[in-house]
Structure 1
């Protein structure tokens, strides 16, 4: 039986549709597998094993969590190289980033004679203006350069303590670099001397907070020593240095070793500095000390290239000659040796031939003993009065002819050395110069030894017994009121206190002048002071009087606002009654508009008055001061401290 035509067509259509559907399904599956495989391989080659690939028809869906945005974008790019980018569906996520770590805050402060600069990264919460102000207060005469950047993060623990310590340290370091962060402050500085270096290191270490780490790199440049001096003595008590100089630590150790072998005991001081006459200085010093040790007792003095060896009285001449001969041969060529063997004492000597000078702790000086002639006595007396003060010297010397030719040099050199002591005694004899005393300077003994060696020359013996004592703490003393008045006057000659036209308001550019005057008055303590206001003659007299009074009172109020004790101050307006220049010219009127600071002094005492009457009169004057100020008192005997005004009254 034949099927109808339309049924056959329908069956063929249905079969074809099924076959097409199967073919399409197969093709899609194949495309999905191929695309997924290609994209997966591309991602694996790029190291994106965290990404997941899923095919959905022609679409390629990427999922997973990328470590960062750049990695996610790189994964998309890799997938787009294998399939059309429009087919890539991005469903990837980016891993949440943790909070950024705060930066390392630090500040580097540099200070020298030209200014202070601060550079670095500081927290935004730091009071920048206050930091600059604190640095400016270290020295108002130098500028502070602000080169800092800020970041908006909390201050790390210890930041405030580190910055405060850095500023405190910088106050005592005029040439320094300080690097500060929250847990470490590094200080690099230059000290003037080794003693200053040790003091700074001690003080800075003590001042550091316990929780703060510090690093110190303080250097002390070697001083220039002139003359380059060494003096070593051997007596009954052993060996000792009066002065010791070396060009470096190695040379110092060599010299000290030789001295210890010769009997040096106890403490010693050997200065390392510049100025050695020869690189072979330690060799010459070592051989000279060894030669003195072989002789037994005496002294050896080296001043630059000159060496003086003085044996003790009674030394065996044969031993002396042998040791001196060997030393002359062993010394480097640049050094010259002068050896002295004192003559033995004889019974024919009558009385001591000497000159002596004593200086008391109060500064009184007495000169006694023998001088060669009247000219030398006048010279010694004049020199002593110049060195110690005319009212401090008592001269009781006598003329004695026949003294050694070098007597004047020995006496004057000894007086110069005595002038460097706080108190002491000088004895000059034909054989030696002896100086004993007390000094407040640690290097006084070495310095005096060098000076005496240089001035006395070869073959001259001298003995120093100088004790160091730290200077007493200075007593707090207020400056003389006249000095305060003069300082204020000096400031006003440079910068004047000016006011806004026709008012008692201080001009803005005069604030610094008031600050400087306040600083002086703060140091002066309580003094009787009158702040006077003056005007020119323009306008009505009554208005000028009121304006001058208001301006004087304004200055007084400004001083009170700066915490200056003003209980002994008074403000008085004199109006136009006390001109100091011609009011007919602009220059004269400018000079008459002024503020003056005058001390209130007692009236002069008449010569006919007794002491009690003078005291009573002075008391009466003091009691009337307040009433005189209120009544516009007449001018007293006062020293004027004025300056021209830069603003005129607008009346």
Structure 2
């Protein structure tokens, strides 16, 4: 019985122990599974998919390769948030660090009246001495502050193109900041006038390396206009401005909105300027334009604080009074209004007196029509000579009595208005002046209107119909680089640059050719041009190459002495290579002795192509060959 009872106890104990063990195993498995799932979900949510999670009892094992040490630490911390940190086993590794990337090479260049400053990082392979020399030349005696650092990394392919372009730009910009890297050049500068701003923008846009992105921001002081004038009219040709000046962007918006509502469809050339007499200028002009629209036509002139409204012929008195009254009460206090309702002129069998001045595209000026006396006739001729320079003046005027008061002033004002045009005509009548023609000045219409208002008064009736022609604009009409080379070819088609025998001295007879080439290049602006020298095959090859180099450099020096900017030019002698004719004949040798001008195209964008303009060199090129007689008979 005792044995039996003991066995029962042992069996019960064993069963209980087995049950407890099984329950513990099951509990551990559940805890392990839930821990692994919780940690894995957390790592995935936080973007650590590269980590794998394993369970080992109550421990959670992390394996995988972290991109950086910091990311590895964050992954372990994320796992520790879900289970006790002591249960997290770190089996993570870290990827090998990448090689250190090359730094970005860049230069900030600041130029002002105090000198030139440079700061930035340049490649060790860059020619720092050459850079310093070019900057010193540009500074023209003013201090140069060099804060450049050097890094020994490979030079970007487009680095030199960007730097060379920036230095060429710096020569033209005495007050500027230029930011340079291998891909982009950013230019911020200040010019002396709007005209200079346009010239610089045109110049900088030309010959830009194709591999470089360019951003240009050139500021210019606003012009001072006196009297501050806007003139708007509506006639049979529609609504248009003869002159338009505003002081702020807000005023510009007011004026253009009013003009658009009055029927203006063309682009208005309004000038942001200084000299406004009142801060309410935009409001006054907009109201005045609205009055012209209400009249259905006419002209309004706002000069400083004086507003002159002229109704169209045939306007009813009631309508005129209503519009004038509304405008007079609406204008800001500083402005004074005068108005005019024209009457129909009486017809005359003889017709009104008239004076006409015309300017041809070739510069020929003709003055015709009625003049009150001989003194006025002489004054008109001398005034035309002064305004048109060396133009040919043809006088077709005749003396007449009974001309209106102020006729002489109107004639001289018409001649001066004509001088603002490239070609055109001015017709002066007692009640009107008509100015029509072409110009290369975008502001010519406004300048003519201000001139006539100043000379004849605000109430003067005149019509200005001037067309801007880009080809006549001395800035926008600059020739392209290819056109410059073509023009050199035209100039030198039947003439040659010659040299003294066996030397690199340009002969006296060739100086005129160089003069003409220099004038073309001055108009062409900043170009990259190669001046190449060639010889015939007589004499030793080494001597031929040396002489051709000297002659190419002589042409470059001659251009520089004529104030051609040759900083971007290259002079290269090719000797007897690339003949264009047979060296066995005298005519062929003469053709092979030549200077060629070609455009330099950056290697990074294309192979060099050129429109060659051959300027044959008259004189022989080298010492006699070893087989030739040595006597000097005045030829090579």
Tell me if both proteins adopt one fold, taking TM over 0.5 as the criterion: yes
Per the alignment, residue 284 of structure 1 pairs with 284
Q: Structure 1 residue 520 and structure 2 residue 570: aligned?
A: no
Q: Deviations over 1:351-400 (max 9, x none)?
A: 22111111111111111111222222222122122222466111122222
Flag the 1:567–1:157 CA change in 2: closer, same or farther, 3 A: closer
Q: Which residue does 2:311 correspond to in 1?
A: 311
Question: Using a 3 Å threshold, how does the CA distance of structure 1 residues 200 and 359 change in structure 2: closer, same or farther?
Answer: closer
1:220–1:373 Cα change, 3 Å: same
**Structure 2: runs of 5+ lacking an equivalent:** 1-68, 70-95, 480-486, 493-508, 516-552, 566-594, 596-614, 621-630
1:300 counterpart = 2:341? no
Is 2:107–2:180's contact at 8 Å kept on the other side of the alignment? Answer: yes
Deviation for aligned residue 1:169? 4.2
Alignment partner, residue 415 of structure 1: 415
- Distance across 2 between alignment mates of 1:448 and 1:173: 32
- CA contact under 8 A between 1:229 and 1:243: conserved in structure 2? yes
Task: Please give the alpha-carbon distance, in whole angstroms, between the structure 2 residues aligned to 1:390 and 1:515.
Answer: 33
TM-score after normalising by structure 1: 0.56
Deviations 1:112-150 (A, max 9, x none): 466544332322221112323454676878776544232
Relative to 1, partners in 2 of residues 1:149 and 1:345: Cα closer, same or farther, differing over 3 Å?
A: same
Cα-to-partner distance string for 1:429-458 (whole Å, 9 max, x where unaligned)? 110111111111111111111111111113
Distance 1:212 1:435 in 2: 46
The answer to whether the 8 A contact 1:112-1:175 is kept is yes
Q: Residue 252 of structure 1: CA displacement?
A: 0.4
Query: Taking CA–CA contacts closer than 8 Å with sequence separation of 6 or more, which of the two structures ends up with the larger relative contact order?
Result: 2
CA contact (8 A) 2:110 2:118 kept: yes
Q: 1:140 to 1:567 in 2, by over 3 A?
A: farther
Give the 3 Å change call, closer, same or farther, for CA 483–384 of structure 1 in structure 2.
Answer: farther
Q: Tell me: CA distance 1:112–1:483, structure 2 relative to 1, closer, same or farther (3 Å).
A: farther
Conserved 8 A contact 1:284-1:332: yes
Is 257-266 or 471-480 further displaced after alignment?
A: 471-480
Cα distance in 2, alignment partners of residues 423 and 212 from structure 1: 40
Counterpart Cα distance in 2 of 1:251 and 1:333: 17
2:365–2:391: 8 Å Cα contact kept in structure 1?
Answer: no
DSSP-derived class of the 1:414 partner: helix
Aligned residue in 1 for 2:392: 392
Q: Secondary structure at the match of 2:403?
A: coil
Residue deviations 1:193-239, cap 9 Å, x none?
A: 66776786687678666665555443333222232111111012321
Q: Distance in 2 between matches of 1:219 and 1:331?
A: 34
Instruction: Using the TM superposition, give the Cα deviation of residue 285 of structure 1 relative to its aligned residue in structure 2, in angstroms.
Output: 0.5
What's 2:257 paired with? 257
Quick one: distance in 2 between partners of 1:628 and 1:250?
A: 80
How has the CA–CA distance of structure 1 residues 569 and 143 changed in structure 2, closer, same or farther, with 3 Å as cutoff?
farther
The answer as to whether partners of 1:484 and 1:520 remain within 8 angstroms in 2 is no
8 Å CA contact 1:303, 1:454 repeated in 2:
no
Deviations along 1:156-177, one digit per CA (max 9) or x if unpaired, are 5653344244335435544321
Return the alpha-carbon distance in structure 2 between the equivalents of residues 220 and 519 of structure 1: 30
Query: CA distance change for structure 1 residues 99 and 337 in 2, over 3 Å: closer, same or farther?
Result: same
The answer to whether the 8 A contact 2:184-2:212 is kept is yes
Matched, 1:371 2:412: no
Q: Which residue of 2 aligns with 1:613?
A: none
SS in 2 for 1:376: helix
**Structure 2 residue 448 is the aligned partner of structure 1 residue 448:** yes
Kindly name which structure, 1 or 2, has the bigger radius of gyration based on alpha carbons.
Answer: 1
Counterpart residue number, 1:469: 469
* Mapped partners of 1:312, 1:98: distance in 2: 81
> 1:184: Cα distance to partner?
4.5
Equivalent pairs, count: 425
